[in-house]
Amino acid sequence: MTLTVFADRMSQPSRAIIIFCKVNGIDFEEVRIDLAKRQQLTPQFQEITPMKKVPAIVDGRFKLFESHAILIYLACSFPGIADHWYPADLFLRAKIHSVLDWHHSNLRSGAAGYVLNSTLGPALGLPLNPEAAAKSEKLLSASLGKIESFWLKGRGRFLLGSTQPSIADLSLVCEIMQLELVDEKDRERILGPHKRVMKWVADTKNATSPHFDQVHSVLLKLKEKLQSERAVGETSQNVLPSKL
């Protein structure tokens, strides 16, 4: 039976799952769960995952949620997956798990909290919260600093000094990509000091090309829309005083 991936490409972990499947030639059916329309709350989707979150998969009679668990399952259960994604070596696997465990309460918490409270909230029916955004930005900046000073140590271009990307690289880079949605000056302020992180993001994109850009196209379309709205808002602010 064909693997079914339930996802919304606006979701960072959903994008990681889809890219992994495409890069590794895994045959799958993608079923969109539109988070903006709250489709994750329907009884039908809750039969897949009671957590009411994307991504989730169904492989035959097997159901699984949580993106890192899904990535590990896919890397282990489908033939022909290159070893660098999730190495057979137990020690290397343990190190990848350390990155994935760290990610949840550091980079993911900081990036998601910042983007939601500074930019994306209204699109989901939530107000912007500058105080929460500032708090999340501190965690995000600290997390980027830790990636640059610790997780990217070594001669390799990827996490843990590897010469090829792992599932951890894919997960973390997809998380950072959501910063494309924020105002350009804010993105530059946050990412600008971390040149090694920016190069690692570019290297991961290149290693998963062309699928990385194709899967992120929905995010980049939203980026263009938000930029247009900001430009209209700035124009209105500049014109209004001249008429008073």
Cα(32)–Cα(6) distance, rounded to whole angstroms? 6
Sign of the CA dihedral running 44, 49, 55, 61: negative
Q: Is the pLDDT of residue 51 over 80?
A: yes
Cα(227)–Cα(206) distance, rounded to whole angstroms? 25
Q: Is the pLDDT of residue 88 over 60?
A: yes
Total-model pTM: 0.94
| Total number of residues shown for the chain | 244
Q: Is the pLDDT of residue 240 over 60?
A: no
Strand order of the β-sheet with 62-65 is: 28-32, 3-7, 56-59, 62-65
- Summarize the confidence of residues 91-115 as an average pLDDT: 98
Q: Are 53 and 65 in contact (CB under 8 A)?
A: yes
Q: Is the pLDDT of residue 235 over 90?
A: no
Q: Is the pLDDT of residue 84 over 70?
A: yes
Q: Are 43 and 232 in contact (CB under 8 A)?
A: no
- Partners of residue 5 on adjacent β-strands: 30, 57
Give the model's pLDDT for residue 173: 98
Q: Residue 208: what are its φ and ψ, rounded to 5°?
A: -115, 15
Give the model's pLDDT for residue 90: 98
Give the position of tokens 């919304």: 8
DSSP codes, 175-239: HHHGGGGS-HHHHHHHHTT-HHHHHHHHHHHHHTTTHHHHHTHHHHHHHHHHHHHHHHHHHHHHH
- Summarize the confidence of residues 131-138 as an average pLDDT: 98
Domains annotated for the chain, with CATH where assigned, are 3-83 (3.40.30.10), 85-209 (1.20.1050.10)
Share of the chain above pLDDT 70, in %: 95
